[in-house]
Amino acid sequence: MSQAPPVKAGIIGTGTISDVYFRAGRAFEVLDIVACADLFPERARAKADEHGIAKAYSTDELLADPEIELVINLTIPKAHAEVGLAALRAGKHVYSEKPLALTREDGQALLETARKTGLLVGCAPDTFLGGGLQTCRKLIDDGLIGEPIGATAFMMSHGHESWHPDPAFYYDVGGGPMFDMGPYYLTALVSLIGPMRRVTGSARVTFPERTITSQPRAGTTIPVRVPTHVAGVIDFHTGAVGTILTTFDVWDSQLPCVEVYGTEGSMSVPDPNTFGGPVSVRGARDTEWHDVPLTHSYVGHCRGLGVADMAYAVRTGRPYRATGELAYHVLDAMTAFHDASHQNRHTELHSNCDRPALLPTGLVEGVLDG
């Protein structure tokens, strides 16, 4: 983007994750974060002072500011839809942390409001834009492993109560391993293989209560209201078949994060909650796995790539990658895994999305258009 002015943005929700977005506002030439707001005014003021932001607002004040063109919605997940809709109705583009919403109905309302207003909706995760996953995507597109026929994805942990200061949300509706971490894995798979056609799954609650052992709430008991072990099968529109397992119920695992299997070889994909490598491949005629040099930049802690990419779209009208449609497709699938288990059937997905375009190679960090 040559001489166009940066997009003026405001952050709503100044929890821990906001720090990386404040830094993104300084790292990308297309983005200028000028204000922040929070349910707790003192927290907004503290973050504004920490990051050199002049305006610390209430949410209503931020939405009323005519200078702000784009809202970065970092509220808790159950508020994503409400805050996103308010921003759209105030005439602002919206980029949200994951998930887009907690229900299909709220996700559809966001997309429909954006269509009616001519505004853009984007959503995390943007880790699929990092150098590791972009390298995997390029190698697949170049035919290195042939036609993808399948994939596996595993997110294995024992949950959050031993280390998180306030872990109750992770065991309430809208939490659980699928809604918490599934967006990283499913977004990566859609980028690598394409959109999903139908899913099925089985889900369970292994421990109906959890006891917090981390401070400051050690000893508090949490009721579990959401499945904590979810195993699913995915049929992609391409014909590939995927397997995904997300769990808060296992003590340890040696499974890979993501692998993609093709007619000419297999690929080991890096953790989709990170931006870098390593990327490993074993071809049909290879005798062992070998690491592949990364083809793309942005391999560090680069959250903010998605909102910066969307800011280019605001200024130039070009397509962007971390779209609301992609996030809704992932939301649809996550909900469908739970539905399929409850209803004992395959669930057809009525959503679809474009496979997001590759970033250019050779980018200088801070710029996304080569």
> pLDDT tens for residues 70-109?
999 999 999 999 999 999 999 999 999 999 999 999 999 9
- pLDDT value of position 220: 96
Q: Read off the pLDDT of residues 195-246 as tens digits, 9 standing for 90 and up.
A: 999 999 999 999 999 999 999 999 999 999 999 999 999 999 999 999 999 9
For residue 18, what pLDDT band results from cuts at 50, 70 and 90? very high
CATH number of 7-127+302-323: 3.40.50.720
The CATH-assigned architecture of domain 128-291 is 2-Layer Sandwich (3.30)
- pLDDT value of position 166: 87
- pLDDT value of position 301: 85
- Nearest CA to 248 out of 123, 164, 339 is that of 164
Per-residue pLDDT for 365 more than 90? Answer: no
The proportion of the chain whose per-residue pLDDT surpasses 70, expressed as a percent, equals: 99
Q: Read off the pLDDT of residues 341-354 as tens digits, 9 standing for 90 and up.
A: 999 999 999 999 99
- Nearest CA to 211 out of 251, 255, 162, 164 is that of 162
For residue 142, what pLDDT band results from cuts at 50, 70 and 90? very high
| Domain parsing of the chain, residue ranges | 7-127+302-323, 128-291
- pLDDT value of position 369: 83
Q: CA 145, CA 268: separation in Å to the nearest integer?
A: 11
Quote the mean pLDDT of the chain.
96
For residue 140, what pLDDT band results from cuts at 50, 70 and 90? very high
Per-residue pLDDT for 370 more than 70? Answer: no
Buried b (16+ CB within 10 A) or exposed e, 81-98: bebbbbbbebebbbbbbb
Per-residue pLDDT for 2 more than 70? Answer: no
Three-state secondary-structure class, residue 341: helix
For residue 3, what pLDDT band results from cuts at 50, 70 and 90? low
Query: Kind of pairing, strands 55-57 and 31-37?
Result: parallel
- pLDDT value of position 281: 98
Three-state secondary-structure class, residue 93: strand
DSSP 8-state secondary structure symbol assigned to residue 343: H
Per-residue pLDDT for 113 more than 90? Answer: yes
Per-residue pLDDT for 171 more than 80? Answer: yes
- pLDDT value of position 159: 95
Overall pTM > 0.75: yes
The mean pLDDT of 339-366, rounded to a whole number, is 95
Query: Kind of pairing, strands 241-247 and 148-156?
Result: parallel
Per-residue pLDDT for 13 more than 60? Answer: yes
- pLDDT value of position 1: 41
